[in-house]
Amino acid sequence: MNAAERVMCVLRGQEPDRIPHFEWIIDEKVRHAICPGSTTEEFTVRMGLDAMLTAPDYTSTQVAPNRFRNEWGIVVERGEEQHATVVETAITTPEDFAAYTPPDPLAAHRFDSLKKMVSRYKGKYAIGVHLNDVLSIPRNLMGFEELMMAFGMAPQLIRDLAEMSVDVNIQLAKEAARHGADFVFTGDDYSSGQAPFMSPNAFRELLYPGLKRVMRGFHDQGLPIIKHTDGNLMPLLDMVLDSEIDCLDPIDPLGGMDIAYMKKTYGDRLALKGNVNCATTLVNGTVREVVDETISVIEAAAAGGGLILSSSNSIHSSVNPGNYLAMLSTIKAYGQYPIQLEFDASGAVEAMT
């Protein structure tokens, strides 16, 4: 199998030739320590990862040092991490929403990056497009604290924002599929490490109908779905799974999520992506600890396929490059099907230290 075939096999819940690997973000500090000067695209090719990832293209205008206003009308600040932070929102009240127009999903430039990626890599690497489902766009437009207050004080505004997000993202998915995307991943986080941001009842009433509709819209375009959300998802898990996602990420260990339990209980319903701990093990663990934890993920979740092995969120700037290499080496050494875990890893560990 090549990389594209391998990933799509896993998203169908089947067993590939080996466990695939890719990350949502690989910070440039880590990339450059391993492959000096590389872009994410170059790093993917050089290191033998399995997916090329992109997103809709939105224009932005600089409004202050490190601050940019994008087509959604929000201002973001770019810092050391690749993920920008929202610092100025666009909607506060229902009246703001009534006057608001989202960016045109059919704008001519919207998928220029995807078109280039498809022209270079279609059929070789799985091509994933980052879209949204029901929470990230409302959060970005209102700000997290205002959004959480609105769950109690302005529930119809939450419902309206979620439905707008669904409408826009279904249109984006149609265009992404038309231009050759292989799968969609959504990054809308629903939970902290302790609990969901809203009650299960509020989620069911205000967000769940839109979640089902957007996932159905993605599937209508023939696009499998990897759903990302950090934290303790268990109180919302039945609703998330019933929306018919194809893969869940990252099975967050800091949120008390157990990938062995998820595999045993739900492995016949969906694939899993995760979950070597990027808050602790990949940052300050020893090589041996990285190897052992990576092997433990394989042991817990690789049987029969349905596993994309990755970090528990991303390869952020604090990840030790040597530890990321140790994880990659372990996936290659132990990730071939049929899985064989009996080999003594001590020799491999010594070779990497």
pLDDT digits (tens, 9 = 90+) for 70-85: 999 999 998 777 678 8
295 SS3 class: helix
> Is 250 a domain residue?
no
Tens of pLDDT, residue by residue over 116-174, are 999 999 999 999 999 999 999 999 999 999 999 999 999 999 999 999 999 999 999 99
Please state the domain count of the chain. 1
Question: Do the Cβ atoms of 334 and 55 come closer than 8 Å?
Answer: no
Q: Which amino acid is at 234?
A: M
pLDDT tens track of the chain, all 353 residues?
Answer: 999 999 999 999 999 999 999 999 999 999 999 999 999 999 999 999 999 999 999 999 999 999 999 999 999 998 777 678 899 999 999 999 999 999 999 999 999 999 999 999 999 999 999 999 999 999 999 999 999 999 999 999 999 999 999 999 999 999 999 999 999 999 999 999 999 999 999 999 999 999 999 999 999 999 999 999 999 999 999 999 999 999 999 999 999 999 999 999 999 999 999 999 999 999 999 999 999 999 999 999 999 999 999 999 999 999 999 999 999 999 999 999 999 987 655 555 555 55
Measure the CA–CA gap between 247 and 34, rounded to whole angstroms. 29
Measure the CA–CA gap between 50 and 47, rounded to whole angstroms. 9
Measure the CA–CA gap between 348 and 311, rounded to whole angstroms. 20
161-164 long-range Cβ contacts below 8 angstroms, 24+ apart? 161/91, 161/97, 161/137, 162/134, 162/135, 162/138, 162/206, 162/207, 162/210, 163/210, 164/97, 164/102, 164/137
Tens of pLDDT, residue by residue over 236-247, are 999 999 999 999
């159905």: which residue's tokens? 216
> Is 258 a domain residue?
no
User: What range does the domain containing 321 cover?
Assistant: 1-28+272-353
Q: State the greatest distance between any 2 C-alpha atoms of the chain, in Å, as a whole number.
A: 65
> Is 297 a domain residue?
yes
> Is 218 a domain residue?
no
pLDDT score of 342: 76
Helix axes 259-266, 287-301, angle to 10 degrees: 10
Measure the CA–CA gap between 260 and 128, rounded to whole angstroms. 26
> Is 281 a domain residue?
yes
> Is 316 a domain residue?
yes
Q: What order do you get walking across the sheet with 51-54 strand by strand? A: 51-54, 126-131, 183-186, 225-228, 247-249, 271-276, 307-311
pLDDT score of 350: 56
pLDDT score of 78: 86
Percentage of the residues of the chain whose pLDDT score is greater than 90 = 94
> Is 264 a domain residue?
no
pLDDT score of 47: 98
For the beta carbon of residue 139, count every other beta carbon within 10 angstroms: 21
